Structure 1
Amino acid sequence: MSAGDATPQTLDEKVNAAHIRVPARGNRKLEKLIDAVNADVELKAWWHAAAVNAERLEMSDHSWVHIQIVTNIGLRLARLLFRRGVVPSVVKDHGLTERDAEVVIAAAALFHCVGMSIHRADHEQFSLFLTADKLPKLLAGIYEDPTKAIICSEASHAIISHRSRGAPFTIEGSIVRVADALDMAKGRSRADKLLPNIHSVSSYAIESVEIKPGEEKAVRIEIDMSNSAGIYQVDEGLGTKLRGTPLAEHVEVIARIDAEHEARILNVFKI
């Protein structure tokens, strides 16, 4: 919904407000998946329930807005990486295509935190539980087995790998893990008040995140911070998600602090 639209009031209105948009760039399989997702009221209801539980716990946003952002970031990362010769795991190991890798990444991003609709604790495993039933149905008519089973398995690996100690060993899983961490910019809380926790304070310090082609590495992530509180989000959030993954050698992170009111402990933080 645009900022000028009235805030939906009923449950049906809130659920139906969710509408995912991604740049498919001619990927018909991805387009069909997104169309199926946008037509699925049950999945959108899970996103709504996840958002409500996040609000109950005074956490950052876990609504469909977060889902859309993570999906778009994942596809942006994937296309920059593939353009520089990084081979997706489904291509290397299953003989599929880069377009299929985009479907895996999008599917995992769309489902990565639906388990929050059940509980925060172990929500990644609950996400797998819900995905196992729903994703094959959404992919019906797009893929046939055994390819459909492979897409579901690889997406499920990416989903479980976004948890704290997920240790992804695929390119696609690593992309989703990092994409989730990159929804960190100011306003991730997307609320009127600053929540009283380090995650909210740190996120509020992140002014902008830009993902661009790198020079020495395939991807360069530039982060502007208004104060040094943002370092927690960059290092503990993004850094923890990036280190030790197959993406670590392909991504550089530069975080700059522009804070005239602070004592200058450091101006630039790199991963």
Structure 2
Amino acid sequence: MSGDDEQTLEERVLAAHIRAPGRGNRKLEKLIAAVNDDVELKGWWHAAAINAERLEMSDHSWVHIQIVTNIGLRLARLLFRRGIVPSCVADHGLTERDAEVIIAAAALFHCVGMSIQRADHEQFSLFLTADKLPKLLAPIYDDPARTIIVAEASHAIISHRSKGAPFTIEGAIVRVADALDMAKGRSRADKMLPNIHSVSSKAIESVKISPGEEKAVRIEIEMSNSAGIYQVDEGLGTKLRGTPLAEHVEVIARIEAEHEARLVPVFKI
């Protein structure tokens, strides 16, 4: 944080600015705009990032929030294009555009609880979301739709925990999107810890999300070292298996490194 040390607290908090493609979804665009104007929410993101640094964890700043939001929307649009029906459409009669709002809202709030404590941060995130999200959505949705959006986003937030079991498409998307923030440079670059989590995270070179052929989504992960398999299998695999997305997503991880014995050249989920 050497560069940040020269900034005031206010400057560091206000620097957060989420960019996500609205694609003509006016409700989503209004939510993103409201979030970017909310200093309290940005303050939670900043505090969460500081706690992650204190614990020598991977980045949990607003950059992580933006990445998860964008990945979530990318996954959603690929899935919806292939006919996968969002749960809010099937169960509440809402629209795909509303599903995008649910996914974005959950991504934006999924780890604000880290501003309080790492352990059980998903539950603390719900505590903060329950107060803030309805206020942000008030100019965008009337009840009962607003209440449904908050409830579905809250389900997605709590479902991203390690033993979370999302039973909605939207919840599964957020859970997987969070796990997919693994590309090179996302872990703390200034310190290599002597554990499999640190080594495996630094082995991930790139993540590509594209339309699949047999399945709706194809996720291709390039690794520089076989240790990355731990990140793919225990991180992403655990978040994907058993969710409503499992049958619609194909994951292929490849080890391209020439300096090591290729014990497992290709790993699939």
Global fold match (TM > 0.5): yes
Amino acid at match of 2:135: K
Aligned to 2:62: 64
Whole-angstrom distance in 2 between the partners of 1:263 and 1:220: 26
Aligned to 2:79: 81
CA deviation vs aligned residue, 1:88-108 (integer Å, no higher than 9, x gap) = 000000000000000000000
8 Å contact from structure 2 (residues 56, 188) kept in 1:
no
- Structure-2 change in CA distance of 1:261 and 1:191 (3 Å): closer
Aligned to 1:256: 254
The partner residue of 2:231 within 226, 230, 233 is 233
Aligned to 2:35: 37
Whole-angstrom distance in 1 between the partners of 2:189 and 2:268: 29
User: In the TM superposition, what is the alpha-carbon distance from 1:6 to its structure 2 partner?
Assistant: 7.8
Amino acid at match of 2:209: I
Aligned to 2:202: 204
The partner residue of 1:135 within 133, 136, 140 is 133
1:193 paired with 2:183, answer: no
Amino acid at match of 1:39: D
Whole-angstrom distance in 2 between the partners of 1:221 and 1:106: 20
**CA-based RMSD:** 1.2
Aligned to 1:215: 213
8 Å contact from structure 1 (residues 187, 203) kept in 2:
no
> TM-score normalised to the size of structure 2?
0.97
User: In the TM superposition, what is the alpha-carbon distance from 1:260 to its structure 2 partner?
Assistant: 1.4
Aligned to 2:94: 96
8 Å contact from structure 1 (residues 161, 168) kept in 2:
yes
- Structure-2 change in CA distance of 1:153 and 1:108 (3 Å): same
Q: Indicate the SS of the match to 1:192.
A: coil
Equivalenced residues, count: 267
Whole-angstrom distance in 1 between the partners of 2:96 and 2:207: 25
User: In the TM superposition, what is the alpha-carbon distance from 1:223 to its structure 2 partner?
Assistant: 0.3
Amino acid at match of 2:228: G
Whole-angstrom distance in 2 between the partners of 1:197 and 1:177: 24
Whole-angstrom distance in 1 between the partners of 2:180 and 2:5: 27
Aligned to 2:45: 47
- Structure-2 change in CA distance of 1:8 and 1:169 (3 Å): farther
5+ long unaligned stretches in structure 1: none
Aligned to 2:180: 182
The range that moved more, 189-198 or 254-263, is 189-198
User: In the TM superposition, what is the alpha-carbon distance from 1:190 to its structure 2 partner?
Assistant: 4.7
Q: Indicate the SS of the match to 2:21.
A: coil
8 Å contact from structure 1 (residues 178, 242) kept in 2:
yes
The partner residue of 1:18 within 11, 16, 19 is 16
- Structure-2 change in CA distance of 1:8 and 1:127 (3 Å): farther
The partner residue of 1:268 within 252, 266, 269 is 266
8 Å contact from structure 2 (residues 103, 170) kept in 1:
yes
8 Å contact from structure 1 (residues 74, 176) kept in 2:
yes
Percent identity reads 87
Whole-angstrom distance in 1 between the partners of 2:87 and 2:131: 24
Amino acid at match of 1:18: A
8 Å contact from structure 1 (residues 74, 175) kept in 2:
yes
5+ long unaligned stretches in structure 2: none
Whole-angstrom distance in 2 between the partners of 1:103 and 1:185: 25
Q: Indicate the SS of the match to 1:37.
A: helix
Whole-angstrom distance in 2 between the partners of 1:229 and 1:79: 31
User: In the TM superposition, what is the alpha-carbon distance from 1:203 to its structure 2 partner?
Assistant: 1.2
